[in-house]
Structure 1
Amino acid sequence: MADLSAFPITARWPAAQKDRLQLYAMPTPNGVKVSIMLEEVGLPYEPHFIDIMAGESQSDAFRSLNPNGKIPAILDPDGPGGAPIALFESGAILIYLAEKMGRLLPEDPIARYQTIQWVMFQMGGLGPMTGQMGFFTKFAGKDWEDKRPRDRFVTEVRRILGVMDGVLADREWFMGEDYTIADVSMIGWVNAIPNFYGVSDLVGFDGFTNVNAWLERALARPAVQRGLGIPARG
């Protein structure tokens, strides 16, 4: 069994099951990417709730694992070659888990890179733009009198949803018939538009019928239903 005491984060959030992957997250659109993935592939893990609103992700203990101070992050005691590995950045974690478990990432090289390109699309577009829109519609930015910043991000989210809607016009998942990490990466963010940020009307969400149908299929998956609530608040 790996000695996790070498990782300072375990002093603040001790591992009760040291042989299991340790997940440090909060059920935000970014955080649930990893919990959904872990539920999908069936890898045993131990979740730790990181209260980002209380500044826990900026603590020395958390930043010892992720110097960028963002959730999610993982510590896998059984990494490559049996050595522990610590990882942050949700996209990197999804790729790592897919390769570790041999699930949700095609073996065919062309399909593999096409899947990863959609993960990068989420990481560089859907996630950041939706998060910024959320700041200007739900959080402090909503009180700003100047609505031009809000409208900038609303317009970009609407454009991105249009891209997604076009791709999903003739397929069930982003890679066709196969559900992959491309879908896993996007579920939390798309779900947040109507169900967390409450901006369906603002972005015309109901008009993106293919995205809505995709989201409905995704939310019907038992692993997604479980993952959206993990880690539970302690």
Structure 2
Amino acid sequence: MKKRNKLILMAIFWLAIVAVLYSQGIITTDINKIKEIIGKNPFKMRVLFVFLSTVRVLFFIPQTIFIIIGSMLLGPYVGFALSVLSLSIAQSIMYAIGIYFQNQLLGEEFLEKNRVTIAILKKYGYKMLALGIACPVTPSDLITLSAACIKLNYKKCIFIIVMADTPMIFLYGFLGTGIQGTFFFKTLAIVAITFVSYYTFVIWKKINSNSEGEEKHSSLT
């Protein structure tokens, strides 16, 4: 698929999302109005949240935004459960794109641009998949695509993705409301997220640098 066609497709999806939001009266910054709409039809709003939190993957929008919004609007427990559900669906979509449509949608440019990430996954397998998903600063959607391109097992991939990302979803949920909305739990969540982000990023960066060095060395020899 040509780049122009991809942009047109993304624009159509964006317009569709805006149309859905507008029809529901959710295009507003008034949080009380949104909560009022949710109160009128909570099931409908939960379905809408899962839909939006899932299709965001097509535009590479970070899920963190929807996790926090879901916690604010739906509460920490419902928001958490629906965020995990949408994560599973969204990453399944990325896996399907990677394994079935990589030539048509991704092309050689994607494989070349992400060759180091693909090489890391080939070498370390599911361990690096878990690390990449757990690290908030790494592009988890692209990592799932890369895992599919090298044909890692679907069930194992989704299981590891959910297990690796669930703790972070739980922590980000505190930023929306927290238990009782207390300052203590919000601060604790920020500290934990910062620590996990830094620790996983350092490990990922180290392995990534080593892989790039090995690739340069092999090309010279």
TM tier, smaller: 0.3 to 0.5
Structure number having the greater helix percentage:
2
* TM-score (normalizing by structure 2): 0.33
Higher relative contact order (CA 8 A, sep 6+): 1
